[in-house]
A and B are shown apart, each in its own frame.
Chain A
C-alpha cells in the first residue's frame, strides 16, 4: 500500500492536482519530440521555443518527466 502520510506538502499537492497552466503537449506529442528536445537542451539551445508546450507537459506528467530525465542522463553518459 502507499504511504501518503509520509510526505504531505501542500504546495506539491496543489501543483500535482491542478497541473500546469496554459497549453501543453499530449503524451504522444511529447514522446515524438523528446529526442529533439533533449538534444536542443544539451546543446544549450532554446528547446522550449522550438517545442512549445513541452515544459508544461513535463511539469504535469510525472511519467513523461521521468522519461525525459532518463534520456537526458543517458546522453550525458555517452
Chain B
C-alpha cells in the first residue's frame, strides 16, 4: 500500500459512530482525493487518541513543557497513521474500525511517554532488587509461609534463571522498569522480553513448587 507523501497535520476532533467508521475504512481503500480526505480524517482520530493517552500519563512527564506534550501526541499520531495504513488489510471488522485504529495511537503514545519518562535514567541495578526482596521479607516477619516463600523466591531467581531471564525479571517486576523502556535499552521488543519474562516465571513457579511451597494461582490485576 502506498504511503502518503506527507503526513497531514490536523486539529479538529472527528465525531465517531458506527456508520462513518465503516465508511472510513472503505474510503481509505479508495483512490485519489477520496482516499486523501480519508487519511486526513484518520489522522485526526489518531491524534485525538494520542492526546488522550499523553494527557492520561502527564504526571509521569513533569519535566516537559506545555508544547512538548502535544509534540509527543503529534509524533504518536504520525507513527500510528503509518502503522494503520500499512496494516489496513488486516482489519477484519471484528470491532469498529475506529476502535481498531485507536489502539495503534494509544500504543505509540504509551510507548513514547514511558520512554520519555525514563530518558536519561539508568536502569536500576539488580542489587536494588535484592533490597526490595529483603524489605518484603521483613514486612512479613510474622507470616512464616509468606516469609519463606519470598526467601525461596530470591534464591531461585539467582539459581534457576539464566542471566538474561534474571535481568529481565528483576528489571520489570522488582525494579519497575517499563518493559518498553527495557526493550529499547536492550535492542529488543516488548513481545520478545515478555516471552523471556513468561519463561522465567514458569521456571520460578516450577522450582518453588518442587520445594513444596504453595505459589498459589490467580490472575488478579494489580491495584494501581
Please report A residues at the B interface, Cβ cutoff 8 Å: 1-2, 4-5, 8-10, 12-22, 24, 26-28, 31, 34-36, 38-39, 55-56, 58-67, 70-71, 73-75, 77-78
Give the tally of cross-chain contacts (CB within 8 A). Answer: 158
* Residues of B near any A CB (own CB < 8 A): 16, 49, 52-53, 56, 94-96, 98-100, 102-103, 106-107, 110, 114, 121-122, 124, 128-129, 131-133, 135-137, 139-140, 146, 149-150, 153, 157, 169, 172-180, 190-191, 194-195, 197-198, 201, 204-205, 208, 215-223
Q: Can you name the residue of chain B whose Cβ is closest to the Cβ of A32? A: B90
Residues of B within 8 A of A73 (CB): 52, 56
Known: A71-B99, A78-B16. A63 touches B178 (CB 8 A): yes
A16 to chain B, nearest CB (A): 4
Residue among B56, B124, B198 with most chain A CB within 10 A: B198
Which among A19, A62, A67, A77 is the interface contact of B106 at CB below 8 angstroms? A67
Say whether B106 contacts A71, CB under 8 Å: yes
B-side interface mostly: helix
Q: In the assembly, what is the distance between CA of A8 and CA of B49, in Å?
A: 34
